[in-house]
Structures are given as structure tokens and as C-alpha cells.
Chain A
């Protein structure tokens, strides 16, 4: 039994970041990369299935579509117990939108033939919420988004899950396997990598593939394989809060006055 997990090295921006010269992205110097927060939860969910069903061998495989700067994110997953890590990239993939990334993820899934495919609901940087579910489109598999609880026994023909809706509402449902599920924050409590895990991870190989190795043509990748193109990025004019001046005592005094006025106390 195998679970394939989409991994992304998500980007936070450093203070005072600058727009790239072509106006279509941010200068890489200001990137602060880290494993996407949602992916911590999808990896943990796979690890829990592996550990709870020790009688059935479960292989947990992580895959990312990114240049080698994302190896760090894959190492983190290996350190937490993933069995294998795969990275697909070449320059033709530059400019890929979520659907171009999903096409590549699906191509890896066809090769790996997992029983379940997990992805985070969204990434903490661009938050499209599209990549994982688009994989289901390319595979033709059953799918469900924003999964907040999962019951699955390796080899079962169905998964039972809870989908988190808006406004404090959830819905339980069953879905046939194989399935693509996007995993929500809070479904579990992600573990930290142990020192031993980190040592083991450092010795594990990252399998690197080019698009051609998974049957993708050049026009499947990058901008030509995408459904949208970034035309421009800019810092929007925003209304900003009035910042309360002075030292912390003065700020607290002002804050207290606002509270008293609003509450009439």
C-alpha cells in the first residue's frame, strides 16, 4: 500500500522585499522558504496510517515539482519518517501555474500508482487551493477537498472522511479509492523531526526526475502548460491602522481609552 504526498517549499517574504525587474514576481533574495504548513499535516496523516496499521506495509512517498532549492523541504519530510522523496524539475517548468504543477504531480502518480494521493488544502504563500484537486482531474480519481478527519484502513475500497465547511459546519462522507484528498490544518498534530530522523534523512537519496522521465512534453510544462499567467505583481495601496504612538504605557493608556469609549464603562 502506498500514499503519495504533494510537497511544496512555500515562500514567506522578508521585510522590505522588492519586486523583480520584470514586475512579475518578487526578487528571490527576499524569499524565506519553508515546508508548506498544510503539508506538515498531510505528511502526518500518512504517517499515522502507516503506524496504526503495522501489519500492512505502507510506503509514504513525497513528491515536489521544484528546483533543488526545495530539497530542504523534502529532507524535512524524510526526517519525519517519509520513506522516499521525488523531485521533478527542469527549466521548462519555470512559470508553471497550479494546473501545470498538478499535471506533473499526476504524471508521477501514474508512475508510482499509490492508493491515496494527499496534498495540502492550499499553500501558505499563494493559497490557490487548486493544485491538489487538479491532480484528481488528470487521474480521473474520486476526490474531496478540505478533509478534517480521515478513517482509512490500508487496502480498503473506501475512505470515510469529514469535510470542513464554512461557519463551523462539517460534513461526513465516504469516497471510493483510489482517491485524491486535500488535507486541512488541525486534522492531527504534526510531529517534529527527531535528531535520529534528521541523521537518517541526510543519508537518504532524493530521486530527481526531468519532465521527460514522467512522459511530459515541453508544452505540458511552464507557461505553455498553464491556464493562467502572472502578468504583474505589485504592493496594493492599503488602508492602514492608525498606529498608537509612545511607549507601551502610553499605548496601553490610549488602548484603555478606546475600550472605555466603545464599551461605555
Chain B
């Protein structure tokens, strides 16, 4: 029987939410009679069975790994074994730092269809069609996979609404004897530990990006943020330059502005990694000189203009 395989992802004992988004995607894409199988890989893979027992899942396949933490070789070998067991035409994997580590290796070695950071999937007569962004997300790129009987897609989180309704799928333990890790995991580190603010809790953020240009321009935005009652945050380049602490970086590798209701993006172009940390905010106002900047795709209001001129004029309004 044909199937769609979903690889669930977990870290430090918790299922990552994107896993349930992929379950929903598989359920939406399945043809009549097609099975949806969720693969769980881990030292204690069984611990996640309840978390992925959702409507639309026919079977959960557990693979017991020799190591607790993610290891690219273990994941590669385990997914290979699951593909051999279930012969899926489509494998859905979260587009994440973990999958960055092994999906391309698996696809390259086994010559499977491959696309990453996919946000839309369609099934056509000729096979699977995946859509992703190109040229800095300025265009959409449609990919097909001629001649590939199995296609692996790494799917961007937030592309599908998660399936939350509980169900009781069959659970099967798949034995994979050859699993061996080459990496030796040591410690986890909270990058933002010891930061001066917790940006996940603040309601109003003013964020500065590359448009700031120079560290010398930072104090005036600090003052302006204080004046309007905002917490000053930033995009990656500002934190990488050491102008603001990592704890103030909004985005995928930094923190998500979870409690934020109002977000002013100053000179931020809107890289996909930054948007991941703020695009949910109810009211986003973007100021950027480039009218094409992707930040205007998530903002409610926009000003096409110079952040310094806007900052001066805004200061007048609040003085």
C-alpha cells in the first residue's frame, strides 16, 4: 500500500510543534487508501507516541536510537530504514537545524527527490510538486522531481495548521540494527542566558536591523525606544556585530516575540529567519528604504523611507 511518511522531531524530551503541522500536511495530501505513517526516532522514541497520536495518523513507527540527542548519521540511517519498510512516495521532514544536518545526505546517497524550506505541496499526475522561495524570497519557485519514486521535502514550520485531535493509531517498532552515531554530544547552552530582558514577555518592541549602518547610531534608537515605551531589539546582523546582546535578537536562532502586540521594524529587510520570530505580531509597522523588502509582506503598516528621518520626526511627536 502506498504511504506518506512524516518524520517527527523532538529535542530534550519534547516533541517540536512542527511535527504536528507535518501530520496535518500529510493528511491533507493523502490519496484515498493511502497510509500516513509517523516515524519517531530516539533513545526513548516510545515516549512521544501519545504526542503524535493524532487524527489522520494510521501508524506510528518507532526506531530506537543508541543516543539520546540528535545525531545526523543515526537519523539518516533510521529514515532510510523507514523508507525501505513503508515505501512512501513522499517523506515530510521539518525544515530545521536538525534536518539541515542529514536530509541532503540521505537524498544524495539514495538519489531521492529533494527540496528544502518548502511551504506548499501539491500532487499532480506527474508526481509531487513543491513550492519554495527563491532569490531572497522575492519569487516563488515550483519544483518537480522527474523520475523519483520517493521525494523528501523539508517543510517550513508554520506552513500547515497542526492536527490536534487525538486518535489511536497502530504502533510498530521498526528494528534498525546498524545505527551508529559519529558525533559526541556534550552540553546544551542557552545563548541568551543572563540577558538583560526577556523578549518573549514584552508587549511592544522596536527592532533595528542592518539599516542602522553603524554602532554610533544605536544610542538615538535606544532613546527613541524608551521615549515611546518600547523594548529595543534587533535582527541578527546587529547581535552578530555585538552592538546589542544576543538576548535581544528576534528570530529563529534568537527568541520569538511571543507576547508582543506592537512591533516597529526599523531598517530590517525581513529575512525568513527574522520573520519566524515576529510575523505573528498583530500590529507590525515597517520602515525601510527598499519598497520591495519582504518585511512589507508581513507588516500591517509601512513607511518607505529613511529610518533616521522617521526617527527624528517620531521623536518630535513624543516630545
Same assembly: yes
Chain A interface residues (CB < 8 Å from chain B): 11-13, 15, 17, 19, 26, 97-99, 102-103, 121, 124-131, 133-134, 136-138, 142-146, 160, 162-176, 182, 184-186, 189, 227-236, 238-244, 248-249, 251-256, 258-259, 262-263, 265
Q: How many A-B residue contacts, CB cutoff 8 Å? A: 263
Listed by A's residue number, 9 A-B pairs whose Cβ atoms lie within 8 Å are: A125-B135, A129-B116, A133-B72, A146-B101, A167-B253, A168-B190, A169-B11, A171-B185, A240-B297
**Pairwise interchain contact B108-A186, C-beta atoms closer than 8 A:** no
Known: A228-B144, A229-B146. A242 touches B302 (CB 8 A): yes
Question: Whole-angstrom distance from the CB of A82 to the nearest CB of chain B?
Answer: 22
**B29 CB within 8 Å of chain A:** no
Report the separation of the CA atoms of residues A234 and B255 in the bound assembly, to the nearest whole angstrom: 32
The secondary-structure label for the interface of chain B is mixed
Other than A121-B100, A127-B117, A251-B303, give 14 A-B pairs with Cβ distance below 8 A. Answer: A11-B135, A12-B135, A130-B104, A142-B183, A160-B186, A165-B11, A165-B97, A168-B247, A230-B142, A235-B138, A238-B297, A248-B306, A262-B204, A263-B229
**Pairwise interchain contact A227-B114, C-beta atoms closer than 8 A:** yes
Q: Which of B230-255 contact A (CB under 8 A)?
A: 236-237, 239-241, 246-247, 252-255
**Pairwise interchain contact B143-A174, C-beta atoms closer than 8 A:** no
| Chain A residues near B173 (CB-CB < 8 A) | none
Known: A129-B100, A252-B310, A258-B301. A171 touches B189 (CB 8 A): yes
Known: A137-B109, A168-B192, A263-B204. A143 touches B140 (CB 8 A): no
Report the separation of the CA atoms of residues A126 and B117 in the bound assembly, to the nearest whole angstrom: 10
**B261 CB within 8 Å of chain A:** yes
Report the separation of the CA atoms of residues A174 and B272 in the bound assembly, to the nearest whole angstrom: 30
Chain B interface residues (CB < 8 Å from chain A): 11, 69, 72-73, 95-98, 100-109, 111-117, 129-130, 133-136, 138-146, 148, 182-192, 203-204, 228-229, 236-237, 239-241, 246-247, 252-256, 261-262, 264, 272, 283-286, 292, 296-297, 299-306, 309-310, 312-314, 316-318
**Pairwise interchain contact B100-A175, C-beta atoms closer than 8 A:** no
| Chain B residues near A146 (CB-CB < 8 A) | 97, 100-101
**Pairwise interchain contact A137-B262, C-beta atoms closer than 8 A:** no
**Pairwise interchain contact B254-A136, C-beta atoms closer than 8 A:** no
Known: A231-B142, A255-B310. A137 touches B113 (CB 8 A): no
